[in-house]
Structure 1
Amino acid sequence: MTVVVGAGTPLADLAGALAEHRQEVALEGPPGATVGGVLAVGRSSLRRPRIGAVRDALLQADCVGADGALFTAGGPTVKNVTGYDLCRLLVGSLGTLALIGQVILRTWPSPERVLWMQGSATPEAVRDMCFRPSSALWDGQRVSVCLEGYDGDVEAEAAALGSHLGLEVAAAAPALPPHRSRWTGRLPEGCILEVGTGVVHGPVEVEAGIPGPGVVTLAARIRTGFDPDGRLNPGRDPYRIAA
């Protein structure tokens, strides 16, 4: 299923409207976040292993270019394979390519049950016992895992994790450090790793690694193609923020 929504719509309002139909989208953000803001930043949910990345949720976007002209990227159907996938360029671009107006997002059925568990175990041990956890977080000593699905399936997996690995039910997802960065080597103390996505939550801001010169050149060409006069969000570089 899909939903048509304005970019300025508060994410909480969209989530509430979809919940009435037992649907959800792969967008999450801080209190007050809007649909367009989450798309522009491009940070995916902790539940990315189940619901996918932010870029996969955006099917179509009606935009305003740097010259003031309207254009549409993508298409209204899930399997749209015609032309260039401009939606993937817009996600995470921080408004440097175009202004997003109305969008069409892919929705997913909401899980019947959501359960977080924590304990002293390795991510490998958890993944060996779970069919596909929605999220697995690891701080080097303790693991937090999110189970989602039908009530009976979640209950069975929770019982197995409890009896074999000693995991206990948690009230909610663990508190995370305020900033994120991609895995670049040894984990500093106090970091939490999103297993399977390569994202690390750290206690201090860590700048994303600078891409190679070929990527930088290509990105500059793309930006110039969309905005030759540098009008859109000047001075902002999507590569220079935490991933």
Structure 2
Amino acid sequence: MRSLENLKRLPLALAVTLTIGTSGLFASGIPVVDGAQISQNQINHIEDVIKQAKTWAEEANRWINTTKHYKSQLDAYANQLASQTGVRDVASFLSDVKELYSSVDKLGTTITDAVDMTTNIKGLNKSDFINKFMSIIDTHYDYNPCKEIAESEKTKRNSCMITYAEPMQDIKVYSEMSKNMDKNIKNLNKLSKKLEKTKDIKESADIGNQIQAQVALMNAQKIQFETYQDTQRLKKEQAELHEKALFLKSQSSWEY
């Protein structure tokens, strides 16, 4: 790195400056501390910062690559879900889902939970929400089977809507996470390049602290992504077990 080469020249220059400055004081008889010791301490400090700067740069690059990997996974999941569910225009679909998602997210709930609501809650009308939800299915899918189910059959109708709500929510969450990771990659790239160009010890330390803060944020998002995946996997397994239990119950209730 050019920055490391520049920093390596600083110890010698600093030592010369300190030696010249302290020699005059010795000649005048003024008591002084050991100038050579001070210069050596300064050199050691600068060398430590140089080593640390190299570590910061390596860590930044490692996290850029790690986050790019997770971002590509998120994009692949979102595209796969959209393809599997038959969405025609992913960009337009995301725009509509984002609006619907925002209306429930600010109330501390999810699209799937809102579908399962039995009554209105403050700030959200159940009927209005269902109309918007159905409109998204009508607009972005070739067919809406949920409309064929009578409103009186609430359990069956809700179950149908949830099959659409879950991928809606997943696509929205994955796309949002991908967007945040992309932003963090750009920020870390910017800091890494800034670190390469700096010739100032203090600025190197400041940039290093910013890199550490950015890395901590990216690590938190990585954990969030993995936790969301684990949660969704658990939900899927529970749903499959529930369906199996209902099937076995229906089998045992048959009369021979």
Q: TM-score band (shorter)?
A: under 0.3
Which structure is higher in helix share? 2
Structure with the larger strand share: 1
TM-score, normalised to structure 2's length? 0.23
Q: Which has the higher contact order (CA 8 A, sep 6+)?
A: 2
Task: Point out the structure with max Rg over C-alpha.
Answer: 2
